[in-house]
């Protein structure tokens, strides 16, 4: 992680945060239950929840009766989804609208898919694609558990996703080196292997380009990762800007702690519009890490 010392604000605080347990957050699922009733029932069980002020339906679990909130009947019933606040920002930034045709290109285990369905109240159509056979079960289980009725699950290599749509919005939450999950995955606390970062960035470029190609003119694409590596973040989006008809859409995060996207990294220079993308570091939101870029198809 030391290679990021010059770009991560309060770097010592960042490193200290990586050594602390990551809190649990939940998203109350209003497709199944009202927010008020869910909070009341969980409180009766002894769970203490703290509302997240900047993210609708999200609560931080600050107290338990001695067992995990996932071990409750209410979790099995789909009243809530355990979801960190950093990835929880992605679907609202996509800003899906009722009755739209939306593609989630790498959807498992389903947190962002079910969040999109909740935002648009089960209207429209979501195509949730997952290329990995072993992950399809979790995607199917979570969409069913959360009462999602507007979603079609597909299995394709996202880079070669068949022509369809075109889609109003596409979310491409790509496979990545996972440095943003260092609080949960101790092996990532020193950073990812350079060779893996280099190899996975090629896949990410292919996925983002295909996402743009599948979006209608004027439509919106959101690219996200849970890593800090500029090679997987700004470099990938810069590549897409050079090779596909698209532009950056500024993300309004004025009320939420975050950092701007980079326009320079080591010997690489990126399009200046990338400063309007978003980096989230664990010490800023007491969360995992995230990179989010929003684009418009031209």
Rounded to whole angstroms, the Cα distance separating 218 from 246 reads 9
Contact 35, 68 (CB under 8 A): no
CA distances from 228 to 163, 232, 263, 285 (A): 32, 8, 14, 15
What sections of the chain are H helices per DSSP? 11-18, 35-45, 73-76, 85-88, 90-94, 111-119, 133-145, 194-213, 234-243, 282-285
Q: Say if strands 264-265 and 268-269 run parallel, antiparallel, or are unpaired.
A: antiparallel
Backbone phi, psi, residue 70, to 5°: -75, -10
Positive or negative, the CA dihedral 101, 121, 61, 75 is: negative
Beta bridge partners, 238, equal none
* Catalytic residue positions, numbered: 226
């Amino acid at each position: 992680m030391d290679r990021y010392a010059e770009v991560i604000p309060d770097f010592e605080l960042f490193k200290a945060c990586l050594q602390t347990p990551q809190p649990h957050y939940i998203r109350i699922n209003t497709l199944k239950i009202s927010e008020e009733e869910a909070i009341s029932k969980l409180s009766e069980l002894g769970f203490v929840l703290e509302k997240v002020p900047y993210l609708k339906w999200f609560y931080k679990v600050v107290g338990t009766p001695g067992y995990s909130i996932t071990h409750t009947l209410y979790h099995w019933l789909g009243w809530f989804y355990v979801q960190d606040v950093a990835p929880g920002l992605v679907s609202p930034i996509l800003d899906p609208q009722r009755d739209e045709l939306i593609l989630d290109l790498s959807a498992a285990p389903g947190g962002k898919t079910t969040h999109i369905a909740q935002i648009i109240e089960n209207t429209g159509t979501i195509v949730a694609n997952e290329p990995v056979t072993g992950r399809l079960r979790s995607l199917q289980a979570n969409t069913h558990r959360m009462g999602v009725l507007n979603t079609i699950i597909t299995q394709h290599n996202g880079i070669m996703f068949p022509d369809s749509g075109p889609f109003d919005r596409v979310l491409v939450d790509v496979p990545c080196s996972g440095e943003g999950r260092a609080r949960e995955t101790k092996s990532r606390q020193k950073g990812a292997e350079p060779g893996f970062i280099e190899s996975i960035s090629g896949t990410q470029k292919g996925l983002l380009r295909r996402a743009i190609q599948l979006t209608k003119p004027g439509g919106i694409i959101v690219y996200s990762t849970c890593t800090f590596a500029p090679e997987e973040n700004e470099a990938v989006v810069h590549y897409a800007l050079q090779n596909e008809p698209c532009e950056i859409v500024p993300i309004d995060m004025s009320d939420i702690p975050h950092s701007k996207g980079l326009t320079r990294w080591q010997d690489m220079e990126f399009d200046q519009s990338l400063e309007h993308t978003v980096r989230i570091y664990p010490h800023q939101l007491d969360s995992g890490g995230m990179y989010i870029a929003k684009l418009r198809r031209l």
